[in-house]
């Protein structure tokens, strides 16, 4: 392995060479801010996944360090995120009962499987597979998942027992248990939610107004969730509200992440492999979109395949240190970037801060009400909900609208796994549908130029004996029949046609099925006394055609430019 390859697989040796005191200072400030933000978030996302709160902290320590070594983004903050936590709960809830040791082992195993899948995808450069999920479908899924997450936390705000993996199940269960609402828990949950909403918009302007600097005001606004945690914890402890039925986090082990081992039971692996694949793809799509957005602001480069390796090692680290599936989070990454993080070392410093918290601060959160953590989750995920995607896709493309609407419907109505699978299937189906009916334009010569344009859009010169069509898509098995039918229908209704030219300027690929169709078209047109020609064939496509018998059997010619074809085939044009 040469030095360049070594740096590719270990980016830490690239940015680490230029690390200096100024960079260290900026990374440390960012780490302090993100650590303060991550403590309540990590606990909350463990709660969302149905896991003990300490697993949220564990999932935010070793994975961050491994990503700092292998990842290429200098601002991405890796750890538990809302959507992946919800998918984790849905996946392991089908194989183990919440609160049991088997449930935690299933979460650890799920992280290991997800890490192995991501790592293999990175090694074999399969990052392109994430492109099979269209962005509108992803937006629809995240919106629906945000609604599900918010609905799932209402039970903690109300202090009741409720269950369900779909919106109907969740709301039905909550309504059924409404008479059991604990009013003190409700007061805490509603107050914390309102406060956190105000913090997002109102705290920073207030701090600036009273004279704090911009950076301190930013720091204060990010520490808002910590203030909610401290105040509500003190309230529960001081007024002994646990005895009034307010549910608290309880005992949290005071230790560094333990060494754990995922299960190698084939039954468990068979049950989790599909959810692990879905979590890997969704997590990667979310992570890479955030990483590329932040990198573009500083003109930095993100390597998607190396990102897969970074996220893969992070998840494997989570599985061996008592965590659950992780990925790059949007909110914490933006905070990390805004706080001035310059290298992945900021993430490593954050991990150190969380490790200190896991060792020294966990006894202080015994009286932390679960309603406060639920409020943290609700406020965080409501920013994910964007139903405007329905209006945008309706105005732009009815096909995309149907895919987004179906994804939202199936996610809300049948659960996150069904929603993701629906999104994947619809994304592929939309691609096949659109490319199976490519845009085919009959073109003519624009007067006074050598350009050819659609006869339905421009005033162009045509000749009754020449039919020129432009195909705006590569030719492959799904659209060859459409091309055949178009040409046959066109020549049958127009007897004077003696030449057909297929303009291939937009054709990047011709597969074997398409080649056989071209041979069939050539043969059938020959029987009708019509010659078939090609023009503007791209080099790689021409290279393949030259390795076949098609060009020797072609009744016409292959022209370098469409204008050349026009000049030769219509020599006496008036």
| pLDDT exceeds 60 at position 574 | no
Segment among 10-14, 355-359, 479-483 with least mean pLDDT: 10-14
Burial string for 353-390 (b: 16+ CB within 10 Å, else e) reads: bbbebbeeebeebebbbbbbbbbbbbbbbeebbeeebb
Do 144 and 214 reside in the same domain of the chain? yes
| pLDDT exceeds 90 at position 434 | no
Q: What are phi and psi of 332, to 5 degrees?
A: -70, -30
* 14 in any annotated domain: no
Do 466 and 549 reside in the same domain of the chain? yes
pLDDT tens per residue, range 331-380: 788 878 877 888 889 999 999 999 999 999 888 899 999 999 999 999 88
Say if CB 533 and CB 500 are below 8 A apart.
yes
Say if CB 375 and CB 193 are below 8 A apart.
yes
pLDDT confidence bin for 7, thresholds 50/70/90: low
Do 473 and 490 reside in the same domain of the chain? yes
pLDDT tens per residue, range 206-216: 888 888 777 77
The DSSP 8-state label assigned to residue 560 in this structure reads: S
Do 28 and 108 reside in the same domain of the chain? yes
| pLDDT exceeds 90 at position 46 | yes
pLDDT tens per residue, range 488-526: 999 987 678 999 999 999 999 999 999 999 999 999 999
Rounded CA separation 526/338 (Å): 67
- Specify burial of residue 246 (Cβ count, 10 A radius: 0-12, 13-18, 19+): buried
Do 401 and 523 reside in the same domain of the chain? no
Number of residues written out for the chain? 574
Do 401 and 415 reside in the same domain of the chain? no
pLDDT value, residue 59: 96
Which secondary structure element, helix H or strand E, spans residue 470, and what is its range? Answer: strand 466-471
Do 99 and 235 reside in the same domain of the chain? yes
* 574 in any annotated domain: no
Tally of structural domains, the chain: 3
Other C-beta atoms lying within 10 Å of the C-beta of residue 95 = 18
Strand pairing of 440-445 and 327-328?
unpaired
pLDDT value, residue 513: 94
pLDDT value, residue 573: 41
Rounded CA separation 149/147 (Å): 5
Rounded CA separation 276/117 (Å): 8
Do 413 and 495 reside in the same domain of the chain? no
* 16 in any annotated domain: no
pLDDT tens per residue, range 390-402: 999 999 988 889 8
- The DSSP bridge partners found for residue 363 are none
* 297 in any annotated domain: yes
Do 300 and 227 reside in the same domain of the chain? yes
* 157 in any annotated domain: yes
pLDDT value, residue 8: 67
pLDDT value, residue 6: 61
pLDDT confidence bin for 74, thresholds 50/70/90: confident
pLDDT confidence bin for 168, thresholds 50/70/90: very high
Do 563 and 479 reside in the same domain of the chain? yes
Average pLDDT over residues 5-30: 80
* 9 in any annotated domain: no
* 8 in any annotated domain: no
Residue 373: HSE in the Cβ half-sphere, 13 Å Cα cutoff: 32
**The two three-digit tokens of residue 411, written as one number:** 């996610």
**The two three-digit tokens of residue 222, written as one number:** 């990010």
Do 536 and 563 reside in the same domain of the chain? yes
- The DSSP bridge partners found for residue 532 are 500
pLDDT tens per residue, range 435-466: 899 999 999 999 999 999 999 999 999 998 99
Beta carbons within 8 Å of 464's beta carbon, 6+ residues apart: 494, 496, 497
pLDDT tens per residue, range 82-125: 999 999 999 999 899 988 889 999 999 999 999 999 999 999 98
Q: What are phi and psi of 160, to 5 degrees?
A: -120, 165
Domain boundary among 362, 384, 405: 405
Q: Identify which of 134, 130, 180 has the alpha carbon closest to the alpha carbon of residue 155.
A: 180
Residue 479: HSE in the Cβ half-sphere, 13 Å Cα cutoff: 21
pLDDT tens per residue, range 523-544: 999 999 999 999 999 999 999 9
First-last CA distance in the chain: 67
Domain of residue 529 covers 440-569
pLDDT tens per residue, range 78-88: 999 999 999 99
Do 410 and 540 reside in the same domain of the chain? no
CATH number of the domain at 478, please: 3.30.750.24
* 485 in any annotated domain: yes
| pLDDT exceeds 90 at position 268 | yes
Q: What are phi and psi of 535, to 5 degrees?
A: -145, 155
């Amino acid at each position: 392995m040469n030095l360049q390859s070594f740096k590719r697989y270990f980016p830490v040796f690239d940015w680490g060479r230029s690390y200096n005191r100024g960079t260290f200072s900026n990374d440390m400030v960012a780490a302090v801010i993100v650590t303060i933000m991550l403590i309540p978030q990590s606990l909350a996302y463990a709660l969302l996944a149905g896991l003990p709160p300490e697993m949220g902290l564990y999932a935010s320590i070793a994975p961050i360090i491994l990503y700092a070594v292998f990842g290429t983004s200098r601002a991405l903050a890796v750890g538990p995120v809302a959507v992946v936590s919800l998918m984790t709960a849905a996946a392991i809830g089908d194989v183990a009962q919440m609160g049991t040791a088997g449930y935690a082992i299933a979460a650890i195993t799920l992280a290991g499987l997800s890490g192995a899948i991501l790592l293999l995808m990175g090694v074999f450069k399969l990052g392109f597979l994430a492109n099979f999920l269209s962005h509108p479908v992803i937006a629809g899924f995240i919106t629906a998942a945000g609604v599900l997450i918010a609905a799932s936390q209402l039970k903690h705000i109300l202090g009741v027992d409720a269950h369900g993996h779909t919106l109907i199940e969740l709301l039905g269960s909550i309504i059924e248990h409404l008479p059991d609402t604990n009013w003190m828990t409700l007061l805490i949950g509603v107050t914390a939610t309102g406060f956190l909403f105000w913090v997002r918009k109102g705290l920073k302007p207030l701090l600036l107004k009273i004279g704090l600097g911009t950076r301190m005001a930013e720091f204060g606004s990010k520490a808002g969730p910590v203030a909610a945690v401290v105040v509500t914890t003190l309230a529960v402890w001081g007024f002994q509200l646990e005895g009034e039925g307010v549910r608290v986090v309880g005992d949290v082990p005071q230790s560094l992440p333990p060494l754990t081992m995922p299960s190698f039971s084939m039954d468990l692996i068979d049950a989790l492999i599909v959810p692990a694949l879905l979590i890997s793809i969704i997590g990667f799509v979310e992570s890479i979109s955030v990483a590329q957005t932040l990198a573009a602001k500083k003109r930095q480069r993100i390597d998607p395949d190396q990102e897969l390796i970074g996220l893969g090692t992070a998840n494997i680290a989570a599985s061996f240190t008592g965590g659950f599936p992780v990925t790059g989070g949007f909110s914490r990454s933006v905070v990390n970037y805004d706080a001035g993080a310059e290298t992945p070392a900021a993430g490593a410093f954050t991990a150190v801060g969380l490790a200190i918290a896991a060792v020294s601060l966990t006894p202080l959160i015994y009286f932390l009400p679960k309603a406060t953590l639920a409020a943290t989750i609700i406020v965080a995920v409501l920013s994910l909900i964007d139903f405007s995607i329905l209006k945008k896709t309706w105005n732009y493309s009815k096909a995309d609208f149907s895919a987004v609407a179906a994804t939202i419907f199936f996610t809300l109505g049948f659960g996150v796994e069904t929603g993701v699978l629906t999104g994947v299937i619809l994304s592929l189906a939309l691609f096949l549908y659109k490319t199976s009916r490519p845009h085919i334009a009959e073109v003519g010569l624009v007067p006074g130029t050598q350009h050819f344009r659609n006869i339905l859009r421009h005033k162009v010169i045509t000749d009754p004996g020449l039919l020129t069509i432009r195909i705006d898509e590569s030719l492959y098995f799904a659209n060859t029949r459409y091309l055949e039918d178009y040409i046959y229908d066109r020549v049958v209704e127009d007897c004077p046609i003696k030449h057909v030219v297929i303009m291939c300027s937009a054709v990047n690929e011709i597969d074997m099925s398409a080649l056989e169709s071209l041979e069939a078209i050539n043969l059938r047109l020959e029987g009708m006394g019509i010659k078939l020609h090609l023009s503007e064939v791209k080099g790689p496509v021409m290279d393949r055609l030259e390795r076949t018998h098609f060009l020797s059997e072609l009744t016409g010619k292959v022209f370098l430019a469409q204008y050349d074809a026009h000049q030769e085939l219509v020599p006496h044009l008036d």
